[in-house]
Amino acid sequence: MTLLEARNLGVGYQVASGGLWQGSRFLPIVLDVSLSLEPGRTLGIVGESGCGKSTLGRALLRLIEPNEGQVLWQGQDMAAIPAEDLRRRRAEMQIIFQDPVAALDPRMTLGRIVSRPLSTFEPGLSRRTARDRAVEALEQVGLSADFADRYPHELSGGQAQRVGIARAIIGRPKLIVCDEPVSALDVSIQAQVINLLMDLQERMGLALIFISHNLAVVRHISHDVMVMCLGRVVETAPRDAFYAGPLHPYSQALMQAVPEPDPRRERGRLGTALPGELPSVLNPPPGCVFAGRCPKATDLCRTTRPELRPLGPGRAAACHHVED
């Protein structure tokens, strides 16, 4: 059963053109993205900063309205769900933010912060019952009941992110979008939070969309991987197949950038990263978005955009020369 599906999703904004009388222009951020996700599965979305990962995650939850395409929630077009119904169904789809401390109201106790979604999802609950549910959620993420009376300034970064996870799961969701939830944490704390998410997924049957630029973290938690470059999907694959050998040159460059724990092997890799920067979204190239940095690029790559085409079970890549 498909829980979430996106079909040819596009998201963009109107921005000033630069001159006083020049009006505005449309700035595309996400272009023609399609995906599907089943219960209990994790889709890892990776790519450099500014490639549209976070915008895509918010559009999938209809926190941002897409300009093109559809998002289907359990087969129903989310654009057709009335605003009041969508508000109640938010309990089924939640998000965890990148900055755990900034996502918490410093004036509220943690118990109030965690229980606050219940005022929308289950408005008939008594204050006592809501607090009990908050304590239960805090305990599920490894925090004791006394944390309910603390304030955000008393927390470490890892504890603050656990509170964010508790707030996300209190409504017993089916999907959580994790928007770089461990990038602001120490490596040892990252592992604890990732293991917590995997444990909650197993216990609650959660589907996860895990957004990150860290391929090592994505490898640990994801079942499938989707690579984005300048708003477009350039490769999709099951996790094991992807890490055994990425197909797109951009995916290979991202893999090459993953630090090697062995210092001798890391020294041997120096100088292998691709030079240059991705083109501006204000002036995208007519062909492949990676052509300017790709060692395989030809005139065809620079003038004609490659389509995402299937290349095996669960695999697809947008590259003219991927089979060379």
Domains, the chain, ranges and CATH? 1-81+175-180+209-324 (3.40.50.300)
Q: Determine the Cα–Cα distance for residues 278 and 47; give it in Å rounded to an integer.
A: 11
More confident residue, 261 or 117: 117
pTM of the model: 0.91
Instruction: For residues 244-249, give the mean pLDDT.
Output: 94
With a pLDDT cut of 90, the percent of the chain lying above it is 66
Tell me the pLDDT band of 26, cut-offs 50, 70 and 90: confident
Among 181, 205, 203, which Cα is nearest to 194's? 181
With a pLDDT cut of 70, the percent of the chain lying above it is 92
pLDDT for res 31 = 94
Per-residue pLDDT tens digits for 176-222:
999 999 987 888 899 999 999 999 999 999 999 999 988 989 999 99
* Cβ neighbours of residue 88 closer than 8 Å, sequence gap 6 or more: 120, 121
Whether the CA torsion 104, 107, 112, 116 is positive or negative: it is negative
User: Would you say how long the chain is, in residues?
Assistant: 324
pLDDT for res 251 = 94
